[in-house]
A = this chain, B = another copy of it.
Amino acid sequence: MQRIFEYSGTMDPMSDDTRVYIYDSTLRDGAQTHGVDFSAADKAAITRELDAIGFDYVEGGWPGANPTDDAFFRSLPETTRGRIAAFGMTRRAGRSADNDPGLQAVVRSGAPVVTLVGKSWDFQCEVALGIEPAENVRMIADSIAHAATVAEEVMFDAEHFFDGYKANPGFALDCIKAAHEAGARWVVLCDTNGGTLPHEVFDIVSEVVKVVPGTHVGIHCHNDTENAVANSLAAVRAGARQVQGTLNGLGERCGNANLITIIPTLMLKMGMTTGLTDTDLKGLTKLSRSLDARLNRVPSKEAAYVGERAFAHKGGLHVSAVAKDPKCYEHVDPDSIGNKRLILVSNQAGLSNILARFDEIGMEVDRKDPRLARLIELVKEREFQGYAYDGAWASFELLARRMLEDVPEYFKVDSFRVIDERRWNAKGQLITLSEAIAKLTVQGERNMTVAEGDGPVNALDACLRKLLLPYYPQLSDLRLVDFKVRILNPEAATAAVTRVTIESADGSGVRWTTVGVSENLIDASFEALSDSINFKLHRDGATV
């Protein structure tokens, strides 16, 4: 484990007091995220991933709440390092715990851990539930005691605990004391509305651990003031030893506390231990991106620790300082969480950036080669025109290889024409058709063809492939997966310079990005399309 700074404030990593338990709520609270939908199979697969990396608790859902959660609990995945929790509510007012069907569904779900949520803010009891505070305390005690007779381990989530404590500390503490005394292994303090600040969490948890030992206290935060991570860390510093959160901070409104950030901070910077070993920790970047892939979300490039740009370096001096000693510009070693340094080729491009990039793609170049200086000049000149190579590695690689190696000319464009026509068709409908005609020389032969498409770029794409496929069958599995247009000088409006970025993929799962720039949108698109095809052909070793 790398700790760059041993700051005096951190705790002794060898004491037992350093063990923090990680409780994942991605499958329950995280499932509240707009646009996120887990199937029962997703839930089982994610549970296995969390178990394998060393999370202590995986909250699978709310038995009885919906068919997906029921299906998940009917066939619980086997776990070896973590335990699955079923989430539910304390019994309703005016019922006994064993006569409340909602509570019974949770307690008897088969999960080894049962987590029950209840109120701890007197105002909420009165306004939202319309019950007496004293009855609320009895509901907590009864429900926890009953669950403890069935489940291996029981927890109490104290909803609105911090707002409740500010309003009436005595009542809030009574609620969690009741849970603790009734047999809850953990009482978890929830900042339900997400409005509490780190110094408040620290002060309040410091009071709580005088009543319930910190090794029985957990924290559950929301990100409504961008403080969910800081609040969780403040609670740990005040003595709490369980942290609830979600992968990548999923959750309703502004999200839950992000375990992907909290875990490395606890382990690398605060001298704490978790169920993860240092080797497990190296799997964190993969865990984060695997969830995004499952949900078909674009991973956040800016994510702390695991984002693609979390260890990105721009510019000459900066990069050479990193090469001298990484701690000049890196707060932890990217390898410790399985991420890597990203050296950007930017308009401050220096030789060191470009050489670092060649290393990554396995291109062997003599650093004294005089053509390198010309390449740097060319990159700078093109970035000034509007090219952005730091997002378009394939175009950069083509540019470099064409200057330093022999790249075959797979095809040569003699001319092309794209026609977009809006007219009335025979049925009296107003339609717009796009049609592209291209004339290319391929392997010494002159060819021309025509294709239609939805819009000019789509038509041009169809036309190029139609013409090239007979010569290069490896293009059959080439797919365009994203297409972006950016106007570089919007004040020139429709005469502005346009940058088109295209992301492509093939059957092997590899993705690459290319860029084109022109005052003419069609020209820019053609350039990016052409780069994409050339990159694929060169990588696959196509011959002319």
Could you list which residues of chain A lie within 8 angstroms of chain B, going by C-beta atoms? 4-5, 7, 9, 32, 34-35, 37, 39, 41, 123-124, 127-128, 163, 166, 192-195, 197-200, 203, 223-231, 233-234, 237, 252-255, 258, 261, 265, 269-270, 296, 301-305, 307, 309-312, 314, 317, 321, 324-325, 327-332, 388, 390-391, 413-424, 432, 434, 453-458, 461, 479-491, 493-496, 498, 502-503, 518-523, 525-526
Please tell me if the beta carbons of B417 and A420 are within 8 angstroms of each other in the complex: yes
Number of copies: 2
**Alpha-carbon distance A416/B391, docked complex (angstroms):** 36
Question: Given that A254-B302, A415-B423 are contacting pairs, would A128 and B432 also be in contact in the complex, using a CB cutoff of 8 Å?
Answer: no
Residues of B contacting A39 with CB < 8 Å?
Answer: 489-491
**Alpha-carbon distance A125/B78, docked complex (angstroms):** 55
Please tell me if the beta carbons of A253 and B417 are within 8 angstroms of each other in the complex: no
Some 25 contacts from A to B, beta carbons below 8 A apart, are A34-B391, A41-B491, A124-B328, A193-B330, A195-B331, A197-B269, A198-B230, A199-B237, A225-B304, A226-B261, A252-B309, A253-B311, A415-B421, A415-B422, A417-B419, A417-B421, A418-B419, A453-B495, A455-B519, A455-B523, A457-B521, A481-B491, A484-B487, A485-B487, A521-B521
CB distance from A313 to the nearest CB of B (A): 9
Residues of B contacting A309 with CB < 8 Å?
Answer: 34, 252-254
Apart from A417-B420, A493-B502, 16 more pairs, CB < 8 Å: A5-B163, A34-B309, A35-B388, A127-B325, A128-B321, A128-B328, A225-B304, A254-B309, A419-B419, A422-B523, A453-B494, A455-B495, A455-B498, A455-B523, A480-B493, A521-B521
Please tell me if the beta carbons of B522 and A432 are within 8 angstroms of each other in the complex: yes
Residues of B contacting A453 with CB < 8 Å?
Answer: 494-495
Please tell me if the beta carbons of B390 and A520 are within 8 angstroms of each other in the complex: no
Residues of B contacting A231 with CB < 8 Å?
Answer: 230
Residues of B contacting A496 with CB < 8 Å?
Answer: 483
Please tell me if the beta carbons of A200 and B520 are within 8 angstroms of each other in the complex: no
Select A304's contact among B128, B223, B317, B413, beta carbons within 8 Å.
B223
**Alpha-carbon distance A37/B502, docked complex (angstroms):** 19
Residues of B contacting A305 with CB < 8 Å?
Answer: 224-225
Please tell me if the beta carbons of B198 and A233 are within 8 angstroms of each other in the complex: yes
| A459 nearest in chain B by CB position | B494
Residues of B contacting A413 with CB < 8 Å?
Answer: 422
Most buried by B among A479, A522, A526: A522
Please tell me if the beta carbons of A494 and B420 are within 8 angstroms of each other in the complex: no
Please tell me if the beta carbons of B454 and A520 are within 8 angstroms of each other in the complex: yes
Residues of B contacting A494 with CB < 8 Å?
Answer: 453-455, 457-458, 461, 480, 483, 502, 525
Residues of B contacting A483 with CB < 8 Å?
Answer: 487, 490, 493-494, 496
Select A519's contact among B197, B454, B489, beta carbons within 8 Å.
B454
Residues of B contacting A493 with CB < 8 Å?
Answer: 479-483, 502-503
Residues of B contacting A417 with CB < 8 Å?
Answer: 419-423
**Alpha-carbon distance A317/B159, docked complex (angstroms):** 15
CB distance from A116 to the nearest CB of B (A): 17
